[in-house]
Amino acid sequence: MNYLHLVVTSLTGLLLFLGSVDMPNTGDPKSAPAVHVSPRYIEDSLEETAVPNMVTAVLADYRGFDTLGEAAVVFTGAMAVLLILRTRREEQ
């Protein structure tokens, strides 16, 4: 139980909590995320993309490039594991 890490961790936690004091209350319909960008996703996604599931509409269409990056991350993970584990260089 080394105390240095404990002190660092609790300081970080305190800093994080102080930061979250100014945040809107959970579930507040007037909070910035609920008012600024997402209303367009909710109101227009059905007529623009004819897809009832708004999350899929945002995931694949509005922010489709994120999901391409995500699929690339999965692909990189598979290639990385292949690279790490299948190197047949005999260890000394």
Partner 1 sequence: MNIHQSATPILIVIVPLITSFVLPILGLWNRRLVFPVALCALSCSFGLALVLARRVLNTGPVQYFMGGWEPPWGIAFHIDHLAALMLLLLTFVTLLVGIYSKKSIVKEVPDQEVPFYSVYLILASGLTGLVSTADMFNLYVFLEITSLSCYALVSLGGGVAVVSAFRYVILGTVGAAFYLLSVGYLYSVTGSLNMADLARLLPSLYESNAVLVGFAFFVIGISLKMALFPMHAWLPGAYSNAPSAVSALIAGTTTKVAAYVLARVMFFVFEPSFSIDTLPVTTVLSWMAAIAMILGSVMAIAQSDLKRMLAYSSIAQIGYIVLGIGLANGMGFTGGILHLVNHAFMKSCLFLVAGAIVYQTGRRDIRSFRNLSSTMPWTTAAFTICAFGMIGLPPTGGFFSKVYLILGAIDGEHWVLVGVILVSSVLALGYLANVIRYMYLPAAENELDEKVEESPQGESNGEPVPLTMLIPMLILASGVILLGLFNGVVISQFIDPAIPIGLPR
Partner 2 sequence: MKDVATSTIVKVVCRRLVPFVQIFGLYVIMHGHSSPGGGFQGGVILASSFMLLVLSDGLETVQRRFSVAMVTIATSTGVLLYAGVGVLCLLLGANYLDYSVLPSAEPRSLGMLVIEVGVGITVTGALVSIFYDLLSFE
Partner 3 sequence: MLDFIIGHFNNATYIMLMMIGFYAMTGKTNLVKKLVGMNIFQWSIILFVVSLSAKRGATIPIVFGSHNPGGPAHLDASNYVNPLPHVLMLTAIVVGVATTGVALALLLRIYKKYGTLDENELLKRARSSG
Site for partner 3, rule CB under 8 A: 1-2, 5-6, 8-10, 12-13, 16-17, 20-21, 23-29, 31, 33-34, 37-39, 41-43, 46, 52-55, 57-59, 63, 66-67, 69-70, 73-74, 76-78, 80-81, 84-85, 91
Instruction: Select from 18, 63, 22, 67 the least CA-distant residue to 40.
Output: 63
The answer to whether the beta carbons of residues 31 and 24 sit under 8 Å apart is yes
How many residues are recorded in the chain? Answer: 92
Dist CA 38 CA 48 (whole Å): 14
Q: Enumerate binding residues for partner 2 (CB under 8 A).
A: 48-53, 55-57, 59-61, 64-65, 67-68, 70-72, 74-75, 77-78, 81-82, 85-86
The upper half-sphere exposure of residue 44, i.e. CA atoms within 13 Å in the direction of its Cβ, equals 9
Contacts to partner 1 from residues 25-44, by CB under 8 A: 31-38, 40-41
Our CB check for partner 2 shows the closer of 11 and 79 to be: 79
